[in-house]
Amino acid sequence: MNNGNYFEMKIKAETCNESFIRSTVAAFCVALDPTLEELNDVKTAVSEAITNCVVHAYSRENSGEITVKVSLSGKTAIIEIRDSGCGISDVETAMKPFYTTKPEEERSGMGFTLMQTFMDGVTVKSEVGRGTTVVMEKTFVKNAK
């Protein structure tokens, strides 16, 4: 049974792990029979959240760990991505479109906006110096228009 099924993994926060995490989360969601488009939505959102852990939470000198947890409930996947990095002082501002603290690195400031666009719900909890947890939900509604 898919209902209540879950997995959790801990992995080094490195760019080279981004595609592995994205594919693993998507593969787990396949059990809920998503459309290709829905699965791509999940991949895009996960990719943005993981990139944020690598780029913002940790630095090149101070790498850390990402915890990814996915649980299935009915036709919904709940995806939690947690880091123990620098944290965000003002989450509301950070989530605004085009807001970025790294414009010099050509960040678009659209990461959170993309997560919100492609997922059905996004919650961000963060504490400065302790880390950030992003929880995203996606309900797969086959052939719904």
Residues that bind ligand ADP (CB under 6 A): 48, 52-53, 56-57, 83, 85-86, 88, 94, 99-102, 107-112, 132
Of residues 37 and 105, the one with the C-beta less far from ligand ADP = 105
Exactly one of 40, 107, 130, 137 is catalytic; name it.
Answer: 107
* Residue 38 falls in the annotated catalytic set: no
Least Å distance between CB 139 and ligand ADP? 23
**Sequence-distant (≥ 6) Cβ neighbours of residue 62 within 8 angstroms:** none
34 binds, among ligand ADP, Mg ion, none (CB under 5 to 8 A by kind): none
Residue from 47, 52, 84, 126 touching Mg ion (CB under 5 A): that is 52
Of residues 52 and 126, the one with the C-beta less far from Mg ion = 52
* Residue 60 falls in the annotated catalytic set: no
DSSP-based three-state secondary structure for 142: coil
Helix axes 18-29, 36-52, angle to 10 degrees: 140
What gap in Å lies between CA 105 and CA 40, rounded to an integer? 26
Q: Are 18 and 50 in contact, with CB atoms under 8 Å apart? A: yes
Q: Distances in Å between the alpha carbon of 26 and those of 57, 100, 105, 139?
A: 23, 27, 28, 13
Of residues 32 and 57, the one with the C-beta less far from Mg ion = 57
Residue nearest to Mg ion (CB): 111
Residue nearest to ligand ADP (CB): 111
Least Å distance between CB 53 and ligand ADP? 5
Candidates 127, 102, 122; CA nearest to 49 is: 122
Q: Distances in Å between the alpha carbon of 57 and those of 10, 46, 53, 127, 144?
A: 15, 15, 5, 11, 37
* Residue 52 falls in the annotated catalytic set: yes
Active-site residue set = 48, 52, 107
